[in-house]
Structure 1
Amino acid sequence: MLTHPTLDRLNALGLHCMAEAFADIEAADEAGSLGHAEWLALLLEREASLRQDKRLPTRLRYAKLRQQACVEDIDYRPRAASTAHCLPSLSRDAGSTTANLLICGPAGLDKSWLASALGHKACRDNRSVLYQRVPRLFDDLALARSDGRHPRLLRGLGRVDLLILDGVDGLTSTAS
């Protein structure tokens, strides 16, 4: 088998991790012990793993989450008993259903942190997420309406799997 042309072809096709795995297998002399299906499965698994690893940072960057939070970091002890039993199922199902979620309460209860944690979990579950502060979103919508980008902005908001709107309690001070 011609190794260098195969490596060049894999790199030209953008299958860089597959090319690296191909070179590793050739160098380790495992080629004789693997069948064709096993060989191909190993190459495909390495490429799929690399692409999945690249996808998460891209989704997190697009989500623009306000805080670095993970659902695994939630401390259930200080929470009320009524809230503590539903958070594990909520984090497990984050982004997997089409239901809406409203997190409300007085200031200082870490609602933004919890929303960011659920958004991070949805990104890890291969869902598109967008975090927006409501006052900023309304300013962007007003500006987009005046310069003709309004339909495109609304399509972009509707395209994400999970849209997190934060700062709703600030509406009372700006609406008056």
Structure 2
Amino acid sequence: MLIHPTLDLLTDLGLHGMAKGFRDMADNPEAAALNQAEWLAILLEREVTLRQQKRFESRAKNAKLRHQAAIEDVDYRTPRGLDRTMFLAVAGCDWIRQRRHCLLTGPAGIGKSWLACALGQKACRENLSVLYQRVPRLFAALALARNDGRYAKLLHQLARVDLLILDDWGPEPLTPEQQRDLLEIFEDRYDAGSVIITSQVPIERWYEIVGNPTLADAILDRIVHNAHRIELKGESMRKKRVTA
């Protein structure tokens, strides 16, 4: 007799996970053997699970990740210098909570972007905010924003996430405007948020990409010395898929 009023009340309160759990248990004869505390524990668990799933879906949507990648699907068999133990340690996301960084380097097609997105997806699952940006498009967006008055707003959007993924850094040298843009981004994130950078260019050559020695010191000092380094090597995985 109380099933429908209870369902209505749970729904009105926005407790949709508990409402679904209540319906499922009401239809399950075995639930009759549970006491009140056990019923309540199961309903609360359903509510928590649903809310966690909704938070993840929202964070994943806002992250705009390029690839539908997951840590569980990482290929460790292909020889490319990816150490399973080290990568799984990075996937734990403690470095993001500690506001450290991760640098992924290697030749084209080796899977850098995919791995970065897998780490981003895991961060979303850990209830951390993430934003993916391809560096060439980001610089173009910042140039437009500078001209139409949205520059400060865009920088604020980049600064407020827990993890910013900057994909495809280099190899072209930066223009003076791009140097200043990058300095602003990293200055905002210094001791405040984490960055993943992917690049075909070895880290020791990043100073050449920045160009201006003074700005290169200011930019890279905020990132390189406080970062995990994942250096990949080998043939393009895309080429191997085509020939397989």
TM norm structure 2: 0.61
Q: Secondary structure at the match of 1:10?
A: helix
Percent of pairs identical after alignment?
55
| 1:102 is aligned to 2:103 | yes
Q: Secondary structure at the match of 1:79?
A: coil
* Counterpart code for 1:137: L
* Distance across 2 between alignment mates of 1:117 and 1:44: 30
| Residues 76 and 25 of structure 1, relative CA distance in 2, 3 Å threshold | closer
| 1:6 is aligned to 2:3 | no
Q: Secondary structure at the match of 2:132?
A: strand
Once the two structures are superposed, what CA deviation does each residue of 1:138-165 show, in whole Å capped at 9, x if it has no partner?
A: 1222222222222222222112111000
Partner of 2:207: none
| Contact 2:80–2:110 under 8 Å retained in 1 | no
CA RMSD of aligned residues (A): 2.5
| Residues 32 and 92 of structure 1, relative CA distance in 2, 3 Å threshold | closer
* Distance across 1 between alignment mates of 2:112 and 2:75: 13
| 1:17 is aligned to 2:17 | yes
Please state which structure has a larger fraction of its residues in strand: 2
* Distance across 2 between alignment mates of 1:125 and 1:23: 29
- Cα deviation for residue 166 of structure 1 reads 0.8
Q: How does 1:1-176 map to 2 (within 5 A)?
A: 2-28=2-28, 33-77=33-77, 78-80=79-81, 83-84=82-83, 86-93=86-93, 95-172=96-173, 175=175
How many residues are paired up? 173
- Cα deviation for residue 60 of structure 1 reads 1.8
* Distance across 2 between alignment mates of 1:149 and 1:37: 54
* Counterpart code for 1:163: L
* Distance across 2 between alignment mates of 1:7 and 1:170: 59
Q: Secondary structure at the match of 2:102?
A: coil
More displaced, 129-138 or 5-14? 5-14
- Cα deviation for residue 29 of structure 1 reads 5.6
Structure 1: runs of 5 or more not aligned: none
Once the two structures are superposed, what CA deviation does each residue of 1:33-68 show, in whole Å capped at 9, x if it has no partner?
A: 444332222211111111222232322221111112
More displaced, 4-13 or 128-137? 4-13
TM norm structure 1: 0.82
